[in-house]
Structure formats: C-alpha cells, structure tokens
C-alpha cells in the first residue's frame, strides 16, 4: 500500500542548509530572467504595438499556474491604463468566449504551448480574426505556431530540484507580462495621478487624490477668537475645538495670527497671567497657512520639517476658511 507519509525521508537541515536552498532558487530564477533580456526584440515591439492599438480590451487566458500568472498580468494591465481581464480557458469553451470581441486582443499563456483547453479555442479566435499573442516555453508548439505573435518565455531549468514544479517558468512569464504592462503604461502616458484614480482606496490614491479641503474642519468647527480675547478665552476655544490651536482673526475673519499648545507653554514659562493677558500680545504673528486646494500629502512633509502639528487654511485674501492637525491627516490614511 502506498503512503503519502514522507516522514521517513525527511532530512535534518541546518540554518545554513535552508539559506543555501533559498539562494539556489533565487540564483536559478535570476539567471532565467537575465536570459529573457535578449528576447526583448522586434517580436516584443510588435506585441506592444498590437496591444497599444487595441480598440477593445486585452483578454488573458491560461491554465493552472500559467492561469494564475495570467490573472496577475491582467490585473497589472488593468491598473496601469490598459483595460484587461482574465478568462479561464476551460470556461471559455463553455460560453465565456462570448466575452471576447473582434476589437480585443488575446494573450494566451502556456509553458508547453500544447494546453488542450487553449488549443480548443484557437480556431474560434481565428474565425473571428481576434489577434492572438502567445507566451510559451516552446516556440514550435501548437499555440506558438498558431499565434500572430509568440513571446518566448522558455527556461533552461526550473528552480524545483526535480525540474518539474513551475517556478522559473512562471517567474519569467510574469516578468514578460510586467514588461508589456509597463511599456503600455509609458506609451499611453499613464501618470501617477491616473494610477491613483484607479486605486482610490489605496495609500497612493489617498496621497494623490486627497486635498486639504477634504480633511479640514470648516464653519463652526474652526477654532478662532477675536484679537480682543484673553488668553484664557483662547484656551477655552482650543479645548472646545480640539485641534491644539486657535486662529486669531479680525472683524472680516482675516487671520492675524495663531496660538498653539506650544505658545501656551512659552506663555507659562514667562509667568503670563492667562486670565488678564490679551491673546493679541502673545500670539504668533505671520503664521504659516495653507490653501484648500493643496494636496494633503504635500503638507505632511512641510509640517514635519517645521515641527508644527496643525495649520490654518485661508483663501487668496487671507480669510480663514478651515483648520486641521496631524490627527486629521492620520485619520484620512495619508500617512
């Protein structure tokens, strides 16, 4: 009776042994990636031109591990300005081929190039004149010879010691897919702002999309007192609004200065009577402010460099329109 229990064949490995095994895998795959450089040739250029001129979407397909890599390539293309999606080849022959139009381009991945499920759908793609790019490990395979363009992603050796498990081959296919996606990104003029628009929930999206106006406190939530107020009245406003500061404004709501927790400590060091002293005498004049349309992320470095925890927001006439502190930035997920 056969058994899946391999305990009897386990070997004792030291930390050095495990490190060597890991490095062997990395070095094997690095060598295969380096070999890929010579294949960024005219065929690669033709594939890029075909994808760039695609009026529909880029459809990726592949079975097994190639399918997993194909799904990642499709996701990378879609998030970098090239509309793309993955279709399972097994499902394609049972109805999902209807998702592919004449305006699309298909990229099919198969290390052997003879995957039955992909071979089944090739005649249908040919019938509808859908351009086909293959990524195979055998340039003489069915898929490679039937494709309009074949990208050679062959490897001389898998990182698996038995040369069986897809390791180097999947890595090389992924790298080729990344090369296509980034080439498309550059050719389409896809910017970091475009990337952010397709990733609004991610940290990059928040850094590039959120402006000061999105995080600042407005209207009654803005801490402010008139220049005639006492220090104690300013402290009460600071406590009520919870931003660790208050603006000092004139009758037209023009910013005259700011008073912060740091200013309070300096006032106490000078033994100033907070009940009788006027805020106008102890406030920080010519204080730093920002505008509502400034990117919130760009303010973070400014605040860090200046060692300040909050900022007032003004319009072009220096009229107070908002306020925020570092806690608002943290809550927004910008840092």
Number of compact structural domains in the chain:
2
Quote the CA–CA distance of 194 and 205 in Å, as a whole number.
Answer: 9
Is residue 185 domain-shared with residue 216, that is, in the same domain? no
**Residue written as tokens 């509502």?**
292
CATH number for the domain harbouring residue 31: 3.40.50.10490
Phi-psi region of 211 (alpha: psi -120 to 50; beta: other; left: phi over 0): beta
Is residue 32 domain-shared with residue 168, that is, in the same domain? yes
CATH number for the domain harbouring residue 325: 3.10.580.10
Is residue 154 domain-shared with residue 237, that is, in the same domain? no
Stretches in the chain below the pLDDT threshold 70: 1-10, 93-95, 192-209, 334-335
Residue 207 lies in a domain: no
Quote the CA–CA distance of 147 and 106 in Å, as a whole number.
Answer: 10
Residue 23's CB is within 10 A of a number of other CB atoms, namely 10
What's the confidence (pLDDT) of residue 1? 47
What's the confidence (pLDDT) of residue 157? 93
Is residue 38 domain-shared with residue 164, that is, in the same domain? yes
What's the confidence (pLDDT) of residue 203? 55
Residue 202 lies in a domain: no
Residue 200 lies in a domain: no
Helix %, strand %, coil % of the chain (to 5):
50, 20, 35
Quote the CA–CA distance of 115 and 108 in Å, as a whole number.
Answer: 10
Quote the CA–CA distance of 228 and 231 in Å, as a whole number.
Answer: 10
Is residue 220 domain-shared with residue 182, that is, in the same domain? no
Is residue 171 domain-shared with residue 236, that is, in the same domain? no
What's the confidence (pLDDT) of residue 271? 87
The torsion angles phi and psi of 316, rounded to 5 degrees, stand at -65, -15
Q: How many CA atoms lie within 13 A of 204 on its CB side?
A: 10
Q: Are 277 and 264 in contact (CB under 8 A)?
A: no
Q: Are 62 and 119 in contact (CB under 8 A)?
A: no
Is residue 154 domain-shared with residue 231, that is, in the same domain? no
The predicted model scores a pTM of: 0.64
Is residue 227 domain-shared with residue 152, that is, in the same domain? no
Name the residue range of residue 137's domain. Answer: 14-190
What's the confidence (pLDDT) of residue 153? 97
Is residue 28 domain-shared with residue 123, that is, in the same domain? yes
């Amino acid at each position: 009776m056969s058994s899946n229990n391999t305990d009897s064949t386990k070997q004792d490995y030291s930390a050095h042994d495990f490190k060597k095994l890991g490095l062997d895998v990395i070095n094997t795959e690095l060598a295969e990636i380096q070999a890929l450089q010579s294949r960024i040739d005219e065929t690669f250029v033709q594939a890029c031109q075909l994808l760039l001129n695609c009026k529909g979407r880029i459809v990726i397909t592949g079975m097994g591990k190639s399918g997993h890599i194909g799904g990642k390539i499709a996701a990378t293309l879609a998030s970098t300005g090239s509309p793309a999606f993955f279709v399972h080849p097994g499902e394609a022959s049972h109805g999902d081929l209807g998702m592919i139009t004449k305006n699309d381009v298909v990229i099919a991945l198969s290390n052997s190039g003879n995957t039955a499920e992909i071979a089944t759908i090739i005649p249908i793609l040919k019938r509808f004149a859908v351009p086909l790019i293959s990524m195979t490990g055998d340039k003489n395979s069915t898929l490679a010879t039937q494709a309009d363009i074949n990208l050679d992603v062959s490897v001389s050796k898998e990182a698996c010691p038995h040369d069986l498990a897809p390791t180097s081959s999947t890595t090389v296919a992924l790298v080729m897919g990344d090369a296509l996606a980034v080439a498309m990104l550059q050719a389409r003029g896809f910017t970091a702002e475009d990337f952010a628009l397709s990733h609004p929930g991610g940290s990059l999206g928040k850094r590039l999309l959120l402006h000061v106006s999105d995080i600042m406190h407005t209207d009654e939530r803005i801490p402010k007192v008139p220049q005639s107020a006492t220090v104690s009245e300013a402290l009460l406003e600071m406590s009520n609004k919870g931003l660790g500061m208050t603006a000092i404004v004139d009758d037209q709501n023009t910013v005259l200065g700011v008073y912060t927790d740091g200013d309070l400590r300096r006032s106490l060091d000078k033994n100033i009577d907070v009940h009788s002293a006027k805020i106008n005498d102890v406030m920080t004049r010519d204080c730093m402010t920002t505008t509502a349309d400034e990117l919130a992320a760009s303010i973070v470095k400014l605040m860090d460099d200046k060692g300040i925890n909050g900022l007032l927001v003004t319009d072009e006439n220096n009229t107070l329109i908002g306020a925020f502190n570092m806690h608002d930035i943290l809550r927004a997920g910008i840092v």
